[in-house]
Amino acid sequence: MKQNTIIKTFISRFLILILNFGLVIYTTNMWGSQGKGVISIVIADLTIIGFFCNIFVGSSVTYFASKYKTEQILLYAYLWSILIGISVPLIFSTIHTLEYPYYLIGLSVLSSLLAANVNLFVGQKNIKMFNLYTILQQVIHIFFIVIIVYGIKITSVGAYFIAQISCYVLLFIMSCFQILRHCKLVNISFSKQIRNKLFDYGWKIQVSSFLQFLNYRLSFYFLEFFKGITSVGIFSIGIAFSEAIWTVSRSLSIILYADVVNSNDHNDAIEKTKISLKISFLITLLFIIGILLLPAQFYVMIFGKDFHETKRITLFLSPGILAIAVSNIIGYYFAGINKLRILNIKSVIGLVFTLISSFLVIPRWGITGACIVTSGSYCISSALLFWKFYELTEFHIRDFVLSKSEINLLLNKVLRKNN
Protein backbone atom coordinates (compact mmCIF):
# COMPACT_ATOMS: atom_id res chain seq x y z
CA MET A 1 0.00 0.00 0.00
CA LYS A 2 1.66 3.25 -1.09
CA GLN A 3 2.28 5.67 1.78
CA ASN A 4 1.77 8.69 -0.50
CA THR A 5 -1.65 7.39 -1.45
CA ILE A 6 -2.59 6.93 2.21
CA ILE A 7 -1.46 10.45 3.11
CA LYS A 8 -3.22 12.07 0.15
CA THR A 9 -6.39 10.15 0.92
CA PHE A 10 -6.19 11.11 4.59
CA ILE A 11 -5.80 14.79 3.67
CA SER A 12 -8.75 14.61 1.29
CA ARG A 13 -10.90 12.90 3.94
CA PHE A 14 -9.90 15.49 6.50
CA LEU A 15 -11.08 18.21 4.13
CA ILE A 16 -14.33 16.32 3.63
CA LEU A 17 -14.72 16.03 7.40
CA ILE A 18 -14.41 19.82 7.76
CA LEU A 19 -16.83 20.45 4.89
CA ASN A 20 -19.31 17.94 6.34
CA PHE A 21 -19.27 19.69 9.68
CA GLY A 22 -19.68 23.03 7.98
CA LEU A 23 -22.72 21.72 6.11
CA VAL A 24 -24.21 20.18 9.26
CA ILE A 25 -23.74 23.44 11.18
CA TYR A 26 -25.33 25.44 8.37
CA THR A 27 -28.36 23.15 7.92
CA THR A 28 -29.11 23.00 11.66
CA ASN A 29 -28.93 26.78 12.00
CA MET A 30 -30.79 27.42 8.75
CA TRP A 31 -33.65 24.92 9.11
CA GLY A 32 -33.51 23.88 12.77
CA SER A 33 -33.89 20.43 14.29
CA GLN A 34 -37.09 19.72 12.34
CA GLY A 35 -35.51 20.66 9.01
CA LYS A 36 -32.43 18.60 9.87
CA GLY A 37 -34.75 15.71 10.68
CA VAL A 38 -36.40 15.98 7.24
CA ILE A 39 -32.99 16.04 5.52
CA SER A 40 -31.89 13.01 7.54
CA ILE A 41 -34.99 11.01 6.58
CA VAL A 42 -34.68 11.87 2.87
CA ILE A 43 -30.97 10.97 2.86
CA ALA A 44 -31.81 7.73 4.69
CA ASP A 45 -34.41 6.91 1.98
CA LEU A 46 -31.86 7.81 -0.69
CA THR A 47 -29.29 5.50 0.87
CA ILE A 48 -31.75 2.60 0.97
CA ILE A 49 -32.54 3.12 -2.72
CA GLY A 50 -28.81 3.35 -3.36
CA PHE A 51 -28.33 -0.19 -2.12
CA PHE A 52 -30.57 -1.49 -4.89
CA CYS A 53 -28.75 0.68 -7.44
CA ASN A 54 -25.36 -0.43 -6.15
CA ILE A 55 -25.95 -4.02 -7.24
CA PHE A 56 -24.56 -2.88 -10.60
CA VAL A 57 -22.91 0.48 -9.80
CA GLY A 58 -21.18 -0.23 -6.47
CA SER A 59 -18.42 -2.68 -5.60
CA SER A 60 -19.22 -4.83 -8.64
CA VAL A 61 -17.93 -2.02 -10.90
CA THR A 62 -14.75 -1.79 -8.82
CA TYR A 63 -14.24 -5.55 -8.63
CA PHE A 64 -14.64 -6.20 -12.37
CA ALA A 65 -13.01 -2.99 -13.67
CA SER A 66 -9.73 -4.82 -14.29
CA LYS A 67 -11.43 -7.94 -15.64
CA TYR A 68 -13.82 -6.61 -18.33
CA LYS A 69 -14.05 -3.72 -20.77
CA THR A 70 -15.20 -0.41 -19.29
CA GLU A 71 -17.86 -0.03 -21.97
CA GLN A 72 -19.51 -3.33 -21.07
CA ILE A 73 -19.53 -2.62 -17.34
CA LEU A 74 -20.85 0.94 -17.59
CA LEU A 75 -23.59 -0.08 -20.03
CA TYR A 76 -25.27 -2.18 -17.34
CA ALA A 77 -24.43 0.29 -14.58
CA TYR A 78 -26.07 3.24 -16.35
CA LEU A 79 -29.20 1.34 -17.44
CA TRP A 80 -29.64 -0.10 -13.95
CA SER A 81 -29.20 3.35 -12.36
CA ILE A 82 -32.03 4.82 -14.39
CA LEU A 83 -34.37 1.85 -13.99
CA ILE A 84 -33.92 1.43 -10.22
CA GLY A 85 -33.54 5.15 -9.49
CA ILE A 86 -37.05 5.76 -10.86
CA SER A 87 -38.91 2.57 -9.96
CA VAL A 88 -37.81 2.00 -6.36
CA PRO A 89 -38.81 5.49 -5.09
CA LEU A 90 -42.23 4.99 -6.72
CA ILE A 91 -42.58 1.63 -4.95
CA PHE A 92 -41.47 3.22 -1.68
CA SER A 93 -44.15 5.90 -2.05
CA THR A 94 -46.83 3.18 -1.79
CA ILE A 95 -45.29 1.91 1.48
CA HIS A 96 -44.75 5.16 3.38
CA THR A 97 -45.09 8.87 2.73
CA LEU A 98 -41.94 10.23 1.10
CA GLU A 99 -40.54 13.67 1.83
CA TYR A 100 -39.88 15.50 -1.47
CA PRO A 101 -40.52 12.44 -3.72
CA TYR A 102 -39.54 14.09 -7.02
CA TYR A 103 -36.25 15.30 -5.58
CA LEU A 104 -35.68 11.80 -4.24
CA ILE A 105 -36.08 10.30 -7.73
CA GLY A 106 -33.64 12.82 -9.21
CA LEU A 107 -31.12 12.21 -6.44
CA SER A 108 -31.47 8.43 -6.80
CA VAL A 109 -30.75 8.38 -10.53
CA LEU A 110 -27.98 10.95 -10.55
CA SER A 111 -26.13 9.74 -7.44
CA SER A 112 -26.08 6.21 -8.89
CA LEU A 113 -24.79 7.36 -12.26
CA LEU A 114 -22.02 9.31 -10.57
CA ALA A 115 -21.24 6.39 -8.23
CA ALA A 116 -20.67 4.11 -11.24
CA ASN A 117 -18.00 6.45 -12.59
CA VAL A 118 -16.32 7.04 -9.23
CA ASN A 119 -16.24 3.31 -8.41
CA LEU A 120 -14.68 2.65 -11.80
CA PHE A 121 -11.81 4.98 -10.81
CA VAL A 122 -11.26 2.85 -7.70
CA GLY A 123 -11.23 -0.37 -9.75
CA GLN A 124 -8.62 1.20 -12.02
CA LYS A 125 -6.58 2.12 -8.89
CA ASN A 126 -7.02 5.78 -9.79
CA ILE A 127 -7.41 6.82 -6.16
CA LYS A 128 -6.47 10.39 -7.05
CA MET A 129 -9.67 10.84 -9.06
CA PHE A 130 -11.71 9.04 -6.42
CA ASN A 131 -10.46 11.49 -3.78
CA LEU A 132 -11.02 14.47 -6.05
CA TYR A 133 -14.63 13.63 -6.86
CA THR A 134 -15.40 12.81 -3.23
CA ILE A 135 -14.19 16.26 -2.17
CA LEU A 136 -15.97 17.97 -5.07
CA GLN A 137 -19.29 16.43 -4.02
CA GLN A 138 -19.07 18.44 -0.81
CA VAL A 139 -17.56 21.62 -2.25
CA ILE A 140 -19.96 21.95 -5.18
CA HIS A 141 -22.98 21.01 -3.06
CA ILE A 142 -22.14 23.85 -0.68
CA PHE A 143 -21.51 26.20 -3.61
CA PHE A 144 -24.95 25.50 -5.10
CA ILE A 145 -26.65 25.92 -1.70
CA VAL A 146 -25.14 29.40 -1.46
CA ILE A 147 -26.32 30.26 -4.99
CA ILE A 148 -29.83 28.90 -4.47
CA VAL A 149 -30.44 30.31 -0.99
CA TYR A 150 -28.79 33.71 -1.34
CA GLY A 151 -28.92 34.24 -5.09
CA ILE A 152 -32.22 32.69 -6.19
CA LYS A 153 -33.75 33.25 -2.71
CA ILE A 154 -35.16 29.74 -2.23
CA THR A 155 -34.96 29.34 1.56
CA SER A 156 -37.02 26.18 2.15
CA VAL A 157 -35.44 22.81 2.95
CA GLY A 158 -35.94 21.98 -0.72
CA ALA A 159 -32.95 24.22 -1.51
CA TYR A 160 -30.69 21.57 0.04
CA PHE A 161 -31.91 18.91 -2.41
CA ILE A 162 -31.95 21.20 -5.47
CA ALA A 163 -28.31 22.02 -4.75
CA GLN A 164 -27.45 18.34 -4.35
CA ILE A 165 -29.11 17.42 -7.66
CA SER A 166 -27.25 20.24 -9.42
CA CYS A 167 -23.99 19.01 -7.92
CA TYR A 168 -24.54 15.44 -9.14
CA VAL A 169 -25.41 16.62 -12.67
CA LEU A 170 -22.24 18.66 -12.98
CA LEU A 171 -19.94 15.98 -11.56
CA PHE A 172 -21.49 13.21 -13.64
CA ILE A 173 -20.88 15.20 -16.83
CA MET A 174 -17.29 15.92 -15.79
CA SER A 175 -16.53 12.30 -14.91
CA CYS A 176 -18.19 11.02 -18.09
CA PHE A 177 -15.93 13.23 -20.16
CA GLN A 178 -12.86 11.75 -18.44
CA ILE A 179 -14.01 8.14 -18.78
CA LEU A 180 -15.83 8.00 -22.10
CA ARG A 181 -13.11 9.72 -24.11
CA HIS A 182 -11.07 6.54 -23.62
CA CYS A 183 -13.96 4.27 -24.63
CA LYS A 184 -14.88 2.96 -28.07
CA LEU A 185 -18.41 2.57 -29.38
CA VAL A 186 -17.53 -0.76 -30.99
CA ASN A 187 -16.86 -2.24 -27.55
CA ILE A 188 -20.37 -1.51 -26.30
CA SER A 189 -22.27 -4.78 -26.22
CA PHE A 190 -24.66 -6.78 -24.08
CA SER A 191 -23.09 -9.85 -22.49
CA LYS A 192 -25.14 -12.29 -20.48
CA GLN A 193 -22.01 -13.61 -18.77
CA ILE A 194 -20.86 -10.15 -17.64
CA ARG A 195 -24.37 -9.17 -16.56
CA ASN A 196 -24.71 -12.31 -14.46
CA LYS A 197 -21.31 -11.91 -12.81
CA LEU A 198 -21.95 -8.24 -12.03
CA PHE A 199 -25.32 -9.12 -10.53
CA ASP A 200 -24.06 -12.14 -8.58
CA TYR A 201 -21.22 -10.23 -6.94
CA GLY A 202 -23.26 -7.06 -6.56
CA TRP A 203 -26.33 -8.44 -4.80
CA LYS A 204 -24.25 -10.48 -2.34
CA ILE A 205 -22.20 -7.52 -1.19
CA GLN A 206 -25.23 -5.20 -1.19
CA VAL A 207 -27.20 -7.53 1.07
CA SER A 208 -24.46 -7.10 3.65
CA SER A 209 -24.24 -3.35 3.08
CA PHE A 210 -28.02 -2.93 3.26
CA LEU A 211 -28.28 -4.88 6.48
CA GLN A 212 -25.41 -2.88 7.95
CA PHE A 213 -27.12 0.33 6.87
CA LEU A 214 -30.24 -0.72 8.74
CA ASN A 215 -28.02 -1.09 11.78
CA TYR A 216 -26.86 2.49 11.14
CA ARG A 217 -30.23 4.06 10.37
CA LEU A 218 -33.09 1.94 11.73
CA SER A 219 -32.99 3.96 14.94
CA PHE A 220 -33.99 7.03 12.87
CA TYR A 221 -37.29 5.41 11.95
CA PHE A 222 -37.93 4.10 15.47
CA LEU A 223 -37.22 7.56 16.89
CA GLU A 224 -39.52 9.21 14.36
CA PHE A 225 -42.30 6.74 15.21
CA PHE A 226 -41.98 6.90 19.01
CA LYS A 227 -40.60 10.41 19.63
CA GLY A 228 -41.19 12.53 16.50
CA ILE A 229 -39.13 14.07 13.70
CA THR A 230 -37.40 16.61 15.95
CA SER A 231 -35.72 13.86 17.96
CA VAL A 232 -34.38 12.44 14.68
CA GLY A 233 -32.77 15.79 13.89
CA ILE A 234 -31.11 15.95 17.30
CA PHE A 235 -29.90 12.34 17.18
CA SER A 236 -28.66 12.76 13.60
CA ILE A 237 -25.96 15.20 14.77
CA GLY A 238 -24.35 12.41 16.78
CA ILE A 239 -24.55 10.12 13.76
CA ALA A 240 -23.04 12.90 11.63
CA PHE A 241 -20.07 13.01 14.01
CA SER A 242 -19.77 9.22 13.68
CA GLU A 243 -19.73 9.29 9.91
CA ALA A 244 -17.32 12.22 9.82
CA ILE A 245 -14.89 10.27 12.00
CA TRP A 246 -15.32 7.20 9.78
CA THR A 247 -14.05 9.10 6.74
CA VAL A 248 -10.53 7.99 7.68
CA SER A 249 -11.32 4.28 7.94
CA ARG A 250 -13.51 4.38 4.83
CA SER A 251 -10.82 6.00 2.74
CA LEU A 252 -8.23 3.52 3.93
CA SER A 253 -10.73 0.76 3.17
CA ILE A 254 -11.13 1.98 -0.41
CA ILE A 255 -7.35 1.97 -0.94
CA LEU A 256 -7.08 -1.50 0.61
CA TYR A 257 -9.96 -2.79 -1.51
CA ALA A 258 -8.38 -1.49 -4.72
CA ASP A 259 -5.10 -3.20 -3.77
CA VAL A 260 -6.67 -6.52 -2.77
CA VAL A 261 -8.86 -6.92 -5.88
CA ASN A 262 -5.82 -6.29 -8.08
CA SER A 263 -3.48 -8.65 -6.17
CA ASN A 264 -3.05 -12.42 -5.88
CA ASP A 265 -0.70 -12.32 -2.88
CA HIS A 266 -2.76 -13.45 0.15
CA ASN A 267 -0.07 -12.72 2.75
CA ASP A 268 0.54 -9.26 1.34
CA ALA A 269 -3.20 -8.51 1.53
CA ILE A 270 -3.32 -9.50 5.22
CA GLU A 271 -0.27 -7.38 6.00
CA LYS A 272 -1.81 -4.36 4.26
CA THR A 273 -5.02 -4.93 6.20
CA LYS A 274 -3.13 -4.88 9.50
CA ILE A 275 -1.35 -1.64 8.59
CA SER A 276 -4.72 -0.06 7.73
CA LEU A 277 -6.12 -1.31 11.05
CA LYS A 278 -3.36 0.45 12.97
CA ILE A 279 -3.86 3.77 11.26
CA SER A 280 -7.66 3.62 11.40
CA PHE A 281 -7.79 2.59 15.06
CA LEU A 282 -5.38 5.24 16.31
CA ILE A 283 -6.68 8.17 14.26
CA THR A 284 -10.29 7.32 15.12
CA LEU A 285 -9.40 7.12 18.81
CA LEU A 286 -7.74 10.55 18.64
CA PHE A 287 -10.79 12.08 16.93
CA ILE A 288 -13.14 10.61 19.55
CA ILE A 289 -11.03 11.92 22.43
CA GLY A 290 -10.87 15.36 20.81
CA ILE A 291 -14.64 15.53 20.35
CA LEU A 292 -15.36 14.36 23.90
CA LEU A 293 -13.00 16.97 25.35
CA LEU A 294 -15.16 19.76 23.92
CA PRO A 295 -17.62 21.22 26.46
CA ALA A 296 -21.35 20.64 25.97
CA GLN A 297 -21.89 24.39 25.57
CA PHE A 298 -19.72 24.32 22.45
CA TYR A 299 -22.32 22.22 20.63
CA VAL A 300 -25.12 24.55 21.70
CA MET A 301 -23.14 27.52 20.40
CA ILE A 302 -22.47 25.81 17.06
CA PHE A 303 -25.72 23.94 16.36
CA GLY A 304 -28.28 25.81 18.46
CA LYS A 305 -30.09 25.30 21.76
CA ASP A 306 -31.97 22.20 20.53
CA PHE A 307 -28.67 20.29 20.40
CA HIS A 308 -27.53 20.50 24.04
CA GLU A 309 -27.51 16.67 24.19
CA THR A 310 -24.91 16.29 21.43
CA LYS A 311 -21.93 15.59 23.71
CA ARG A 312 -23.85 12.93 25.64
CA ILE A 313 -25.02 11.35 22.37
CA THR A 314 -21.43 11.21 21.08
CA LEU A 315 -20.24 9.70 24.37
CA PHE A 316 -22.75 6.84 24.16
CA LEU A 317 -21.94 6.27 20.49
CA SER A 318 -18.13 6.36 20.87
CA PRO A 319 -17.55 2.62 21.58
CA GLY A 320 -19.49 1.73 18.44
CA ILE A 321 -17.72 4.42 16.40
CA LEU A 322 -14.34 2.89 17.26
CA ALA A 323 -15.60 -0.64 16.60
CA ILE A 324 -16.88 0.26 13.12
CA ALA A 325 -13.63 2.08 12.28
CA VAL A 326 -11.84 -1.24 12.74
CA SER A 327 -14.47 -3.47 11.12
CA ASN A 328 -14.67 -1.24 8.02
CA ILE A 329 -11.09 -2.22 7.20
CA ILE A 330 -11.67 -5.93 7.78
CA GLY A 331 -14.95 -5.88 5.86
CA TYR A 332 -13.32 -4.47 2.74
CA TYR A 333 -10.58 -7.09 3.01
CA PHE A 334 -13.20 -9.87 2.91
CA ALA A 335 -15.01 -8.14 0.04
CA GLY A 336 -11.72 -7.87 -1.86
CA ILE A 337 -11.12 -11.64 -1.65
CA ASN A 338 -14.80 -12.32 -2.48
CA LYS A 339 -15.63 -13.82 0.94
CA LEU A 340 -19.03 -12.19 1.37
CA ARG A 341 -20.84 -14.72 3.57
CA ILE A 342 -19.23 -13.51 6.79
CA LEU A 343 -20.25 -9.92 5.97
CA ASN A 344 -23.88 -11.01 5.66
CA ILE A 345 -23.77 -13.00 8.89
CA LYS A 346 -22.33 -10.15 10.97
CA SER A 347 -24.86 -7.71 9.50
CA VAL A 348 -27.79 -10.04 10.26
CA ILE A 349 -26.64 -10.46 13.86
CA GLY A 350 -26.33 -6.69 14.30
CA LEU A 351 -29.74 -6.12 12.71
CA VAL A 352 -31.49 -8.68 14.94
CA PHE A 353 -29.99 -6.97 17.98
CA THR A 354 -31.12 -3.56 16.69
CA LEU A 355 -34.70 -4.68 16.01
CA ILE A 356 -35.25 -6.40 19.34
CA SER A 357 -33.54 -3.81 21.52
CA SER A 358 -35.12 -0.83 19.69
CA PHE A 359 -38.63 -1.95 20.61
CA LEU A 360 -37.56 -2.37 24.23
CA VAL A 361 -35.23 0.60 24.75
CA ILE A 362 -36.17 3.53 22.46
CA PRO A 363 -39.79 3.97 23.66
CA ARG A 364 -38.51 4.21 27.25
CA TRP A 365 -35.26 6.21 26.89
CA GLY A 366 -35.71 8.00 23.56
CA ILE A 367 -32.52 9.46 22.09
CA THR A 368 -30.32 7.95 24.80
CA GLY A 369 -31.88 4.56 24.11
CA ALA A 370 -31.21 4.98 20.38
CA CYS A 371 -27.55 5.68 21.18
CA ILE A 372 -27.25 2.56 23.33
CA VAL A 373 -28.94 0.38 20.72
CA THR A 374 -26.84 1.76 17.86
CA SER A 375 -23.53 1.49 19.69
CA GLY A 376 -24.35 -2.02 20.93
CA SER A 377 -25.19 -3.16 17.41
CA TYR A 378 -21.94 -1.69 16.06
CA CYS A 379 -19.86 -3.46 18.72
CA ILE A 380 -21.53 -6.87 18.35
CA SER A 381 -21.32 -7.01 14.54
CA SER A 382 -17.74 -5.68 14.56
CA ALA A 383 -16.63 -8.23 17.17
CA LEU A 384 -17.76 -11.08 14.93
CA LEU A 385 -15.85 -9.71 11.95
CA PHE A 386 -12.78 -9.09 14.11
CA TRP A 387 -12.87 -12.67 15.42
CA LYS A 388 -13.23 -14.12 11.90
CA PHE A 389 -10.29 -12.11 10.57
CA TYR A 390 -8.02 -13.24 13.37
CA GLU A 391 -8.90 -16.87 12.67
CA LEU A 392 -6.78 -16.36 9.57
CA THR A 393 -3.79 -14.95 11.41
CA GLU A 394 -2.40 -14.53 14.90
CA PHE A 395 -3.63 -11.65 17.04
CA HIS A 396 -1.03 -9.21 18.33
CA ILE A 397 -1.57 -5.99 20.29
CA ARG A 398 1.00 -4.38 17.99
CA ASP A 399 -1.54 -4.71 15.14
CA PHE A 400 -3.17 -1.62 16.69
CA VAL A 401 -0.03 0.34 17.58
CA LEU A 402 2.16 2.09 15.02
CA SER A 403 5.80 1.14 15.41
CA LYS A 404 8.52 3.77 15.65
CA SER A 405 9.72 2.95 12.13
CA GLU A 406 6.19 3.29 10.72
CA ILE A 407 5.70 6.64 12.46
CA ASN A 408 9.03 7.89 11.10
CA LEU A 409 8.11 6.71 7.61
CA LEU A 410 4.78 8.55 7.73
CA LEU A 411 6.41 11.71 9.10
CA ASN A 412 9.09 11.60 6.41
CA LYS A 413 6.42 11.30 3.73
CA VAL A 414 4.51 14.26 5.13
CA LEU A 415 7.63 16.41 5.54
CA ARG A 416 8.81 15.52 2.03
CA LYS A 417 5.38 16.46 0.72
CA ASN A 418 5.53 19.87 2.44
CA ASN A 419 9.05 20.71 1.26
Q: How far apart are the first and last CA of the chain?
A: 23
pLDDT at 416: 45
DSSP single-letter state for residue 133: H
Of 103, 107, 111, give the one whose Cα is nearest residue 54.
111
Please tell me the distance from the alpha carbon of residue 307 to that of residue 313, in angstroms, as a whole number.
10
Q: pLDDT digit string (tens) for 267-279? A: 777 877 887 788 7
pLDDT at 412: 53
DSSP single-letter state for residue 419: -
Of 191, 238, 247, 202, give the one whose Cα is nearest residue 217.
238
Please tell me the distance from the alpha carbon of residue 230 to that of residue 252, in angstroms, as a whole number.
34
**Contacts with 19 (C-beta within 8 Å, 6 or more apart), sequence order:** 135, 138, 139, 142
DSSP single-letter state for residue 266: H
Please state the domain count of the chain: 1
**Contacts with 348 (C-beta within 8 Å, 6 or more apart), sequence order:** 211
Give me the sign of the Cα torsion angle 42, 298, 375, 223. Answer: negative
pTM confidence score: 0.67
pLDDT at 406: 57
User: How does DSSP assign 333-364, residue by residue?
Assistant: HHHHTT--HHHHHHHHHHHHHHHHHHHHHHHH
Please tell me the distance from the alpha carbon of residue 244 to that of residue 23, in angstroms, as a whole number.
12
Please tell me the distance from the alpha carbon of residue 336 to that of residue 235, in angstroms, as a whole number.
33
Q: How many CB atoms lie within 10 A of CB 307?
A: 22
pLDDT at 417: 41
With contact defined as beta carbons under 8 Å apart, do 346 and 400 qualify? no
pLDDT at 106: 93
Q: pLDDT digit string (tens) for 83-137? A: 999 998 888 888 776 778 888 999 999 999 999 999 888 888 787 888 888 889 9
Please tell me the distance from the alpha carbon of residue 58 to that of residue 198, in angstroms, as a whole number.
10
pLDDT at 5: 60
Of 411, 106, 66, give the one whose Cα is nearest residue 259.
66
Structural domain for 79, as ranges: 3-418
- Give me the residues of the chain with pLDDT under 70, please: 1-10, 13, 97, 186-187, 257, 261-262, 395-419
